[in-house]
Amino acid sequence: MLIDEIFEPLFMLNLGFPAVRLDKEKLIAAGHSFGGGTAVGVAFKDERVKCVMTLDPWLFPIHKDI
């Protein structure tokens, strides 16, 4: 999963951003439409995600317990 790759030490360097540092203690999942539903699902399953931001999320495929 991409969220696991973010925690790799060379993640930003491999993307070409050597001076950028991520605050991994304040991860935010964000998305629009189906991506919004995915962001909610990821946040539900992964405690490293501290906040979710969605725009018009498509929540139909997400189980009602989430």
pLDDT by residue for the chain (66 residues), tens only, comes to: 778 888 888 888 888 888 888 888 999 999 999 999 999 999 999 999 999 999 998 887 776 766
* Sequence spans of domains, the chain: 2-55
Judge whether 33 and 43 are in contact, CB under 8 Å.
Answer: no
* Cα–Cα distance measured from residue 26 to residue 35, given in angstroms and rounded to the nearest whole number: 19
Single pTM value for the model: 0.71
Judge whether 21 and 41 are in contact, CB under 8 Å.
Answer: no
